A and B are shown apart, each in its own frame.
Chain A
């Protein structure tokens, strides 16, 4: 298993500003994943972050809007840039410990509830 600490847990931000979300894992992991959960909707993968390389973004998400850092094997940040009310969502980080085998369950942080006003 993995214990993930994500912060802040919630924030209210002004439009046009940026927020950086931090994700700390209690063990070293190859990949970290960032998801968005819009109100009343499912989880959508934003990007996959590997240590030492550029993050891989899913269709509809771009690096300028959601820059990601992955400085080591236990930590990552996601920045939501130039925010608008449409960015109001829960943002979750996730890891799949035990290597990159696809049959391993993912573990999630508590999420960051972002409200943009």
Chain B
């Protein structure tokens, strides 16, 4: 069975500071990991994914994420937060060979000016 944990309901950070949104996963076999962002009254937008290769993946809007196999984590990071980054962030996992995408509970990011 696949599962994703996002331990923080909300992350608060000041504009210009680095941000981290945490994600851990559980899956049988190789994981395919994804981050999505949801702005109010909008659908989900794809940010980045880890499939294989380099553990540090770069995505849209300056976001990056680091895959750590030993810690089964895939934390989302950004060196310098913007107020416009304030949104709801979802981590998701799919086991290799399967179609079902399992989402975490989401983390609300609030960037203050």
Contact = CB atoms under 8 A, between A and B. Distances in A.
Interface of A: 4, 6, 31, 33, 41-43, 45, 48, 92, 94, 96, 100, 102-103, 105-111, 113
Given A42-B90, A92-B43, A103 B106 contact: no
B34 to A, nearest CB: 6
Contact of A111 (B34, B42, B100, B103): B42
A48 B99 contact: yes
Contact of B99 (A102, A105, A108, A113): A102
Contacts of B56: none
B51 interface: yes
Given A41-B105, A45-B100, A105-B49, A110 B95 contact: no
A7 B36 CA distance: 21
A31 B98 CA distance: 12
Given A102-B32, A102-B97, A103-B51, A108 B43 contact: yes
Nearest to A43: B103
Interface string B16-43: 0000000000000000101010000111
A92 B105 contact: no
B94 A102 contact: yes
Contacts of A96: 99
